[in-house]
Structure 1
Amino acid sequence: MDTSRRNLLFGRKPQVPPEPRPPWASSNFIDRCTRCGDCVSVCPTQIIKVGDAGFPTVDFSHGECTFCGDCTSACTPKALEQSTDTPWALQASITDRCLALHGVECRICGEACDERAIHFQLAIGKVAQPQLITEQCTGCGACLAPCPSNSIHILELMA
């Protein structure tokens, strides 16, 4: 029995991953963020949106994070602070709905990835299979929106 069905039968809420915070969210983001919306209005790719309880979140369904830092510059309460550290602990994940895994030639995610974190391994008698190089993935979300089968998810890495 799948998890969503089991949750329904036992009266549990479905397990939905939390929406990602904007890049460079400080460790005390919730305490510092005033929900002013300045980071939302300055995001050039418009991926920072107002989420639950008015806190800014990231929605990769229409674009990617370019790590320009405009959101951190606009954040006067310093809930977002640009540093030399990685901006977040996000990474792409390719699910089993991927067209290439079902014999359909598709390389859109690899073409969208500027970091070249997704490449395609040639195989005899099959279409090339996607390979994610986790060390190269920045979690920018460029691969998510163009995927025709919605088989890419951006997940938070567990520490």
Structure 2
Amino acid sequence: MAQVIFILNGPNLNMLGKREPAIYGSTTLDDIHANCRKEAEKLGVEIDFRQSNHEGDLVTWIQEAGEKGAQVLINPAAYTHTSIALLDAIRAAQVTVVEVHLSNIHAREEFRHKSFVSPVAKAVLCGFGAEGYLMGLRALAGYQRNPES
């Protein structure tokens, strides 16, 4: 059975392509999904790509990933800076997580500099745009093959 990587997307990411293109670019979430599918195929992994504007959905999906032994690539969006629930879910589910952001959150408003997910993430990618998702997929696929890398 192929390795499964959950790709979880938080609030307002369904608006990509329309929302603040000067910050987030013109790539839509559907574009990111399609690119992730192609990359996953090359890597020999399966992806489960989801988006929700609701924090509880993300918590439930993290728990589900843990139950299935899957890894998680997550763009928590605004919940990055506010959600202790995501932090607790990742800890409880004991999943390997890579956190990804389209923009460089450290070059933006001060309130975006704090992440509740980063302390429990294997790695954090920010500022690479949609390419960050593909980088995260590659990292998780490689980590699965060689956890000591």
If the TM-score is normalised by the length of the shorter chain, which range does it land in?
under 0.3
Q: Which has the higher contact order (CA 8 A, sep 6+)?
A: 2
Q: Identify the structure with the greater helix proportion.
A: 2
Question: Which structure would you say has the larger Rg?
Answer: 1
Q: Report the TM-score, using the length of structure 2 for normalisation.
A: 0.25
Q: TM-score if structure 1 supplies the norm length?
A: 0.24
